[in-house]
Amino acid sequence: MTDLAHAFSPDGPLARAINGFRARPQQVEMAERIEAALKDYGVLVAEAGTGTGKTFAYLVPALLAGGKVIVSTGTKTLQDQLFKRDLPTVRDALKVPVRMALLKGRANYVCPYHLERNAREGRFQSAQDAADLRKIVRFAKITNSGDRAECTDVREDSPAWMAATSTRDNCLGQECPNVKDCFVMAARREAMDADVVVVNHHLFFADVMLRDVGMGELLPTCNAVIFDEAHQLPETASLFFGESVSTAQLLELARDTRSETVAAAPDCRELIDAARTLEKAARDLRLAFGAESARMAYSQAVAREGFADAIEGVESALAAFEGMLEAQAERSEGLGNCLRRTQEMRARLARWQAPEDAEMIRWVEVFTQAVSLNATPLHVAGVFKRQLEGQLRAWIFTSATLAVGNDFSHYCNEMGLSWLERPPVTAVWGSPFDYAEQAMLYAPSGMPDPNHPDYADAVAATALPLIRAARGRAFVLCTSLRAMRRVHALIAEGLAAGDDALPLLLQGEGSRTELLARFRMLGNAVLVASQSFWEGVDVPGDALSLVVIDRLPFAPPDDPVLSARIKSLRKAGHNPFMRYQLPRAVISMKQGAGRLIRSETDRGLLCVCDPRMVGKPYGKMVWRSLPPMGRTRDEAEAVAWLEALAPLVVRDTSAA
């Protein structure tokens, strides 16, 4: 039997099986600490800097320990990478007979029932949507897994997927006439039989905390849960411990009811008319908020002209809709399910207007074509703590960014770990990269206050000479979409004025995957983006040598959820800025900075434009939390450093 020390040794199974494998001291120490937590059914919270090799550090002890393990990741991208690459690599190297399963949420699997219904009804917004659905129909006939990620000839964001998949609301479960062909059920059966199950945080909370069929059965059988990218858990937990009613859900309910009516009650025209009335009420609710996207508190929403009438219209339409469905529900499982969903939606809407829990934060999010009425818990610590204490098992939380310095109290308090009967063990392992040699941190002098109206102009003016010196190969990361658009426009003007032929990309011009592929292929591109590119983005090598961050990533204080939490902390006698806002900003800042150096051969410059990092006492906490790079405040030195890095020949990108 392989032991941990031998597994990571220079002549061990990993070194023999993996070309170029070399264990790092931080990786081995982390693996040893995880091994101890697994044996002791303990709780470990571990920060491991970029390049530590934390994936192998938890997979090796987990596979050697035996028993059932759930590994939860922050993104589906990492989930697929773990299941398809890292996990088979470690399993084969260690020669352990481990059965693996990949489990995603329902929306990731084709639903034969809804696909058949919607393909038959044939109501589509465009010819492209209809063509996409036909491709999905063909895919459903040949796939073994039903995983939409394998259907590569239909865009990930195609509206046809909504007609081809199920949701928690419209899934018929065991009552479904297509249950024997259900890809979700098949995936869950595999997960029940597997030794290692790879999920993502959204599925973990949706299915475990809400006790849905599937993970709710899976968790009690496991010996350990490992959370990778664990810094995302507080936000994900808040989302799933709360409730929401959205116009998108109302429109989906109307669409599904119409499909079920055509199939099972075609003589009931009144129900189809009621579905149209519900659709109109949902659209009227969205129109009550004007054209702009926004997040606002409950008090701001109810003060808007037309909101009360729009809500009353939704309530009235739902009540009439429920009455119609009650008369037809027995005619099919699908109509019965639509009745249940209508009743649940009415109950959620009533709770949103008159909450049973005084600690629920009520707020509204307005999107381009939808609006969501949300109720978010003020704290998730108590609910999550109960999950940890429910049954004896090991819990591992790991990420490149969890601590502020060496202090985990912010994270442990937020997740309820500080009040466990057995307090968690915490540990920090720095990156093995030589940041002093590989990277430079530039904090430009003379920047205006971030609230100054010309601040975005100053950011663009700071970024331009750096971009030229690096010959592109840059991320410019902004903390708001408005700043992103302004900075992009100014950089475009500056590059055009200087006749600099550098490709300039903007978030929103394609999916994140498409933009990253273009960025890597071009080799000298500049990408201007917002916070969706701050984490989970990996561009090793020469294609990225400069990261410019416009300001410290503090969440806007008028955000309804943050505002309520600040008020609660202040009422309890705490300093909300030092206890909550600053630690969150530090962790987010570390994520953004982590885009720069991704391998032992990478070199690059990080520019943080925000003058508060060096001018405010709290800025020192951010400064000290960043990797130990060389540091400068002199533009000429930063430009010279980048010029020394720029490749002599930039590939021809005219065809790209």
Q: What is the pLDDT of residues 202-245, one digit of tens each?
A: 888 876 665 544 435 666 678 999 999 999 999 998 888 888 99
Beta-strand pair 474-477/546-549: parallel
Tell me: do 341 and 421 sit in the same domain. no
How does strand 43-48 pair with strand 425-429?
Answer: parallel
Smallest CA-to-CA distance from 228 within 388, 76, 354 is with 76
Helix ranges (DSSP H) in 265-306: 269-287, 298-302
Are 470 and 592 part of one and the same domain? yes
CATH of the domain at 447: 3.40.50.300
404 - beta bridge partners? 407
Same domain, 549 and 627: yes
CA 636 to chain centroid: 38
On whether residue 325 sits in a domain, the answer given is: yes
Question: Do 481 and 598 sit in the same domain of this protein?
Answer: yes
What would the DSSP string read from start to end of 495-544?
HHHTT----EEETTSS-HHHHHHHHHHHSS-EEEE-GGGSSS----STT-
Strand 604-608 with 439-442, pairing: parallel
Residue percentage of the chain with pLDDT more than 70: 96
| Same-domain check for residues 274 and 331 | yes
Minimum mean pLDDT among 87-91, 237-241, 413-417: which range?
Answer: 237-241
**53 in a structural domain:** yes
Q: Which of 333, 356, 377 is the last residue of a domain?
A: 377
* Residue where the block lists tokens 């002098």: 445
Q: pLDDT, tens digit, for every residue of 146-179?
A: 999 899 888 887 889 988 999 888 888 888 889 8
Q: Which two tokens stand for residue 505?
A: 């990309």
pLDDT at res. 213: 40
Q: Predicted confidence band at 374 (pLDDT cuts at 50, 70, 90)?
A: very high
Least confident of 89-103, 210-224, 392-406, 607-621: 210-224
CA atoms of 484 and 475, how far apart (whole Å): 11
Per residue in 553-562, pLDDT (tens digit) is 998 888 999 9
Can you read off the two tokens belonging to residue 163?
A: 């007609």
The pLDDT value given to residue 217 = 62
By CB atoms closer than 10 A (0-12, 13-18, 19+), residue 323 is exposed
The pLDDT of residue 210:
54
What confidence tens digit (pLDDT) does each residue in 573-616 have? Answer: 999 999 999 999 999 999 888 888 888 888 999 999 999 999 99
Same domain, yes or no, for 568 and 600? yes
- Asked if residue 458 and residue 317 are part of one domain, the reply reads no
Return the pLDDT at 218. 61
Which tokens belong to 17? 């099986």
What is the CATH classification number for the domain harbouring 310? Answer: 1.20.120
Reported residue count of the chain is 656
pLDDT for 108-121, tens place per residue? 999 999 898 888 87
* Residue at 420 is within a domain: yes
Q: How confident is the model at residue 489 (pLDDT cuts 50, 70, 90)?
A: very high
> pLDDT value at position 169?
82
The DSSP element (H or E) to which 551 belongs, if any, is: none
Burial of residue 497, with CB atoms counted within 10 A of its CB: 0-12 exposed, 13-18 middle, 19 or more buried: exposed
* 19 falls within a domain: no
Closest to 75 measured CA to CA, from 229, 238, 237, 209: 229
Q: Tokens 């699908």 label which residue?
A: 334
Domain match, 541 and 590 both: yes
Domain ends where: 392, 408, 429? 429
What is the separation of C-alpha 220 from the centre of its chain, rounded to a whole number of angstroms?
A: 26
Verify that 297 and 359 share a domain, yes or no.
yes
The reply to whether 456 and 323 lie within a common domain is: no
**Residue listed under structure tokens 């945080």:** 201
Where does a domain end: 394, 410, 429?
Answer: 429
Kindly state whether residue 180 falls inside one of the protein's structural domains.
no
| CA pair distance 66, 62, nearest whole angstrom | 7
Residues 534, 549, single domain; the answer is yes
Residue 539 pLDDT greater than 60, yes or no:
yes
Q: Is 177 domain-assigned?
A: no
Q: Which domain holds residue 87?
A: 4-12+25-105+185-239+379-429
pLDDT of residue 290: 86
User: Which pLDDT score is estimated for 336?
Assistant: 93
654 pLDDT exceeds 80? no
Are 401 and 583 spatial neighbours (Cβ–Cβ below 8 Å)? no
Does 326 score more than 50 pLDDT? yes
Is there a domain that residue 20 lies in?
Answer: no
Return the pLDDT at 209: 61
Report helix, strand or coil for 132: helix
What pTM was estimated for this model as a whole?
Answer: 0.88
Say whether pLDDT at 511 is over 50: yes
Count how many domains the chain has: 4
Query: Which position has the token pair 């170029």?
Result: 20
Query: Contact, 475 vs 544, CB < 8 A?
Result: yes
pLDDT at 279 over 70: yes
Mean pLDDT, the chain, as a whole number? 90
| Per-residue pLDDT tens digits for 334-350 | 999 999 999 999 999 99
Of 318-327, 528-537, 579-588, the one with minimum mean pLDDT is 528-537
- Same domain membership, residue 333 and residue 261: yes
Please check whether residue 66 lies inside any domain of the structure: yes
